[in-house]
Amino acid sequence: MKPAPQLKKSSNGAGAKAAELSPERELRRIVATVLRLAKSTGAEETEVHVDEVADALTRFANNAIHQNVAELGLTVSIRTVADGRTARATTNRIDEDSLRAAIEASLSLAHSQPKDPRLLPLPAKQRYRSVHRFLKPTAALCAEERARAVRRACDLAVKNGQVAAGIYASGQSQSALGNSRGLFAAYRETHSEFSITVQEGPAASWAKANSADVRAYDPQKLAARACEKAHLAVNARKLPPGRYTVILEPSAVLDLVGFLFYDFAATALEDKRSCLNDRMGKQLIGPNITITDDAYHALQQGAPFDGEGLPRQKVLLVDRGIPRNLVYSRSAARSTGKQPTGHGFALPNEYGEAPMNLVFTGGDSSVEKMVASTERGLLVTRLWYIREVDPYEKVMTGMTRDGLFLVESGRVTGAVRNFRFNQSIIEMLNNVELLGPAVRATGEEAFEMVVPAMKVHNFHFSEVTKF
């Protein structure tokens, strides 16, 4: 591998220090190099994405670390346009020969297809609202610190006669996007996550947090909560399937409503695969549900620009139960006579766009108040293996997991065996009785969003499993 003289990737560094990203000027230099090289290849227009990641993840199970990994990587993705055609080639080799080869590969791919009558010129220079999501304490978190925190969590489980498994991850990433019409955008963020499952015999429970700022949560408190709930989860009794009032903790809400995100894409409606086809402007869900897409919300993460470099806009998607607006890539906006909203995916692609920063408006209740207000229902910690059964009615199936509790006369009275559900999200969002404050929720089925806990009546559980 022949390194280019002025294109350096940062070193992992020796010792246990967290790896560091390259300075932004290095990414700018790569973008400039690609644009310069592309000029001599016949590309009429060129777009360059540079993405760099330095991540680490400590994984534990059976009260000990069993996997512990770190990753450093940089990719350069090049889209060229020639004669009304476009295509993309990606490489992680940044010497000039490799970059030139990627440009030529992109052009070769582009020339192999028919002209695309919908293809738009690349966007010109844009203005971006700044976001600050890079936190030094997160970037500096090292393997020893993660290991010590894991050790404390595991010791707590051992002390309780329980078994802990989970992850403690931290890292940083950055992206730069530039094109031959002068557009340039750059973004960097840190990310961290602590997740723990605690088992007590056949019972288990779970807690998880995710933030750009590692100081935003306390792994030991999450461990304590999982230990406590795992103990409550022992001696689960079997209840018959049927319709129940449920109190969904934010992670459970997220993993269900997360499946709605692509339905708000203008391209999904054009393709007639959205549950919003023929339903825009109608009272589809309860008037207590309002959904926006807001990349600038304090609890959100992600770049303030989309795959073509357009600034992300805040979009009101559902206003008091009525779907009002969609998100639009430049292409979708052109074909529907709308303005682009800054939600497009990197081209070329067949999906168009999607809102990636969903925010549900919360309420003034809480999980505790929801429990206290419930005569008979189920408290759901987490859902698992959710898949779409009916794309138009948005019926989803999946399982409860890691802590399902019976609520009777306003208090938790015991654990219940896990259920399978077959539930329409549309119906569910018509049956919301109470909302908690919206929080940054994290699960395993959907990307992080800002959602509240919900109390929902008539939630449909179809079968019960053996634990």
Q: Given candidates 144, 218, 368, 408, which one binds another protein under the rule CB under 8 A?
A: 144
Q: Given candidates 37, 43, 89, 378, which one binds another protein under the rule CB under 8 A?
A: 89
- Residues 172-191, interacting with another protein (CB under 8 A): none
Q: How many CB atoms lie within 10 A of CB 216?
A: 14
- Residue 414, sorted as left (phi over 0), alpha (psi -120 to 50) or beta, turns out to be left
| Contact between 24 and another protein per CB under 8 A | no
Q: CB-based burial of residue 101 (10 Å sphere; 0-12 exposed, 13-18 middle, 19+ buried)?
A: middle
- Binding segment (CB under 8 A) for another protein, from list 269-277, 305-313, 430-438, 447-455: 269-277
| Contact between 19 and another protein per CB under 8 A | yes
| Contact between 387 and another protein per CB under 8 A | yes
| Contact between 159 and another protein per CB under 8 A | no
Q: Given candidates 221, 388, 408, 411, which one binds another protein under the rule CB under 8 A?
A: 388
Q: Given candidates 25, 127, 132, 272, which one binds another protein under the rule CB under 8 A?
A: 272
- Residues 55-84, interacting with another protein (CB under 8 A): 55-75, 77
Write the interaction track for another protein spanning residues 281-320; mark x where CB under 8 A is met and - where it is not. ----------------------------------------
Q: Given candidates 80, 192, 197, 301, which one binds another protein under the rule CB under 8 A?
A: 197
Q: Given candidates 41, 91, 336, 373, which one binds another protein under the rule CB under 8 A?
A: 91
- Binding segment (CB under 8 A) for another protein, from list 146-154, 214-222, 256-264, 293-301: 146-154
| Contact between 196 and another protein per CB under 8 A | yes
Q: Given candidates 113, 235, 283, 413, which one binds another protein under the rule CB under 8 A?
A: 113
**281 within 8 A of 316, measured Cβ to Cβ:** no
Q: How far is the CB of 450 from another protein (least distance, A)?
A: 23
